[in-house]
Chains A and B, each alone.
Chain A
Amino acid sequence: MPRLTVAKTAKMLVNGQFVRSESGRTFEAQNGLGQACLASRKDVRDAVRAARSAQPAWAARTPVNRGQVLYRLAEMLEARASGFAELISRESGLTKPRAKREVEAAVDRAVHYAGWCDKAAQVLGSVNPVSGPFFDFSVVEPIGVVAVLAPSASPLVGLVSLCLPPLAVGSTVVAVAASPMVATEFAEVVATSDLPPGSLNLLTGVKGDLAKTLVEHRDVDAIADADGDDDFRRVLVSGAADSLKRVRVWGPFDLAAWHSPSTQGLDWVEAFVEVKTVWHPVGM
């Protein structure tokens, strides 16, 4: 009898732990890849609590250290490139070359944002020439906890493109992945990349349901989506009204756009910072 291969159980990443949904529920992943975790409202709340607890320490890291951690993430992704490409191809049905490109673009994106960590503050901050004897400057600070709703068009680059900009500037993330098996694999990359537990939490499940919990959660500061659906944007914005959280919606983008530099850059970082202006008198 031929040897049975050992299949991987799909898991989510919450507070640095690989967990299944506390509800015990699962759903069928695409293309017969098995059962994926169906995150519950409680899972969302656990993830938000983890992200909130992890945020101050992550923000307190030196910017260059955050950059090194994100660069390490790129290293870990690259090391698993071939396995990722095969999984992406199987789960999302992308052709082999496209799946390969998907992984390469994700690695490059991580390198891109690794470099922003110690530069965003300089580009987005300012010294303000006020008319008076004051030293006046504006600095950017992390927005806090960001909820990411990963786009469906790109299983890996889309997820990475939304998670890394907030991490680069010291926020922490609760992400709802679009492709659960790729997300499980990505969770292993995250767990071995020196990102502190809780800084990036990955959930799988029904986007619309989880979005509702996230958008109403008072400990989430911002919500990001990149499917570009205007009706869904309206749902997010009005749902977020009671806690006045920031909502940012990009897209929609096709796979080619996700693989090009047009879907990265300062704009994505800027969405996850708050500007603080400081005045101090100048005098003897």
Chain B
Amino acid sequence: MSVAPRDPVGLEVPVESGFRWEYAPAPEARSIVRLRERYDHWIGGRWVAPASGERYESIDPSTEEPLAEVARGSAEDVDRAVLAAREAFGPWSRLPGAERGKVLFRVSRLIQERSREFAVLESMDGGKPIRESRDVDLPLVAAHFFYYAGWADKLPYAFPGRTVRPLGVAGQIVPWNFPLLMAAWKIAPALATGNTVVLKPAETTPLTALLLAEVLEAAGVPPGVVNIVTGFGDAGAALVRHPGVDKIAFTGSTAVGKEIQRYAVARHLTLELGGKGANIVFEDAAIDQAVEGIVNGIFFNQGHVCCAGSRLLVQESVADLVLKKLERRIGTLIVGDPLDKNTDVGAVNSRAQLDRIRSLVDAGASDGATVHQPACRLPERGFWFPPTVLTGVGPSSRVVREEIFGPVLSVLTFRTPEEAVELANDTTYGLSAGVWTDKGSKVHKVLAGLRAGVVWANTFNKFDPASPFGGVRESGYGREGGRHGLAPYLEVR
């Protein structure tokens, strides 16, 4: 790819003093995962071969080696799954809440027990560093089931004075950036509220969802309550257009979200879409902490994060300092084998995504952006993109307006808090934002003006099952997590 010289923007402090910590490889064993050669759909409590007989390979993006053959879902498979979910809905929704809750508590426990296996598989199939799948994804997955399990018999307390009932069959389409976590975010509240589910995992990352099917069965989730159909966009489209589906919950790109709103048959719809989060650093921030927050905000999960802080807005008076420190910090990031416990930045999820990241960064460079990348040796095989900072960009540049969904940070500067808020809101998205300042009253003033569903003040990219998450404007609607996350799965009167 064509990249401008990686000369650090007029830095006086040397980024590298020539010394670099060397880390011995510390790979997590892959042997804990026992993959089958081929996987079917999980429908009505059984493994069901795809009606078309078609399968595709799910690969390890860090090696491009195939991991397993997976069923390629068709409208016929989706139809079977919806039918199974419909049949299961009556008994499941009539089950006392306390019993539904107990099933979900068991799911949570079983996930904890097999958490290492899930984490390794997640990193193999999706390319994310094992440290993140082990320490972030899996604990949150288990916590999410545990949290919503407890709601199952307490729904009247969530909506005092109102009556609630489940919607029916929920069609749930999840992305490839947090494959199992997004499935948990969708399945746990749906089941706690008495709905049944047809889940469509992303085509590049189906394997942990299929392993989850084993856990659900072992935990006593009745057949048909959760059905999993793997495949591509056409399977998702079949789900969205299916008249037997009462609710669609989608997490993915804004473009696909718009298509879903256009064609969805279901009466109920929630969308968690793209973002172009502004991470605002004021001159009175704790700068070292802010730099850690910037790094976490954009390089966590290779930047494959809808709520990533992909636009750094830094106050002019500290811009040079912040950029120097940032450059130095980025020089220490370890890019490589997702299964290595030292790795900070893993593999890009797919070749298609890598191409998209490259073309947008190229567009940024030809718009006049200066591209900063640390010297890092990238593996020969697999899909890789180094941590990247773009300076010298304007508010109308494509790399500032469009979601890149990769480890690429665009930097803008501002002078006044009002200007910062205006720049932050100058986007069609509205998912996340970050504010860094040590002044409490300023935190509250600024965050009140930000059009975003989640604001992290003096922190970034924090998630919790008790905390409602979701966007405004073209980042979609509906909340996942917390008491608010129950409402999208209930009719509340």
The reply on B258 being an interface residue by CB < 8 A is yes
Identify the stretch in A12-20, A161-169, A237-245, A252-260 within 8 Å (CB) of chain B at 4 or more residues.
A237-245
Q: A134-B462, A244-B473, A244-B477 are in contact. Are A278 and B457 (CB under 8 A)?
A: yes
Most buried by B among A134, A246, A276: A276
Identify the stretch in A69-77, A122-130, A195-203 within 8 Å (CB) of chain B at 4 or more residues.
A122-130
What are the interface flags for B317-329 relative to A under an 8 Å C-beta threshold, 1 for contact and 0 otherwise?
Answer: 0000000000000
A222 to chain B: closest residue by CB: B477
Across-interface contacts of A126 in B (CB, < 8 A): 468, 482-484
B458 to chain A: closest residue by CB: A281
Across-interface contacts of A280 in B (CB, < 8 A): 443, 457-459
- In Å, the complex CA distance between A234 and B488 comes to 19
The reply on A65 being an interface residue by CB < 8 A is no
What are the interface flags for B471-490 relative to A under an 8 Å C-beta threshold, 1 for contact and 0 otherwise?
Answer: 01110110100111000000
- In Å, the complex CA distance between A267 and B161 comes to 11
Q: Are B457 and A277 in contact (CB under 8 A)?
A: no
Q: Is the interface of B mostly helix, strand, loop or mixed?
A: mixed
Q: Are B162 and A241 in contact (CB under 8 A)?
A: no
Give chain A's interface residue range (CB within 8 Å of chain B).
20 to 34
Interface size of B in residues (CB-CB distance below 8 Å):
43
- In Å, the complex CA distance between A13 and B473 comes to 27
Question: Shortest Cβ distance from B116 into chain A, in angstroms?
Answer: 20
Q: Are B493 and A267 in contact (CB under 8 A)?
A: yes
Across-interface contacts of B271 in A (CB, < 8 A): 244
Which of A244, A267, A274, A275 contacts B258, CB < 8 Å?
Answer: A244
The reply on A138 being an interface residue by CB < 8 A is yes
The reply on B469 being an interface residue by CB < 8 A is yes
Question: Shortest Cβ distance from B173 into chain A, in angstroms?
Answer: 16
The reply on A266 being an interface residue by CB < 8 A is yes
The reply on B56 being an interface residue by CB < 8 A is no
Q: A134-B459, A279-B455, A281-B459 are in contact. Are A244 and B257 (CB under 8 A)?
A: yes
**Can you list 26 contacts pairing A with B, beta carbon distance less than 8 Å?**
A126-B483, A130-B466, A130-B467, A131-B143, A131-B464, A132-B462, A136-B464, A138-B482, A238-B262, A238-B263, A242-B258, A242-B262, A246-B477, A267-B493, A275-B470, A276-B447, A276-B472, A277-B455, A277-B467, A277-B468, A277-B482, A278-B455, A279-B459, A279-B462, A280-B457, A281-B459
Known A246-B477, A275-B479, A280-B443; further 12 A-B contacts with Cβ < 8 A: A130-B464, A131-B466, A134-B459, A134-B462, A240-B261, A266-B161, A266-B162, A267-B492, A275-B484, A276-B472, A277-B467, A279-B467
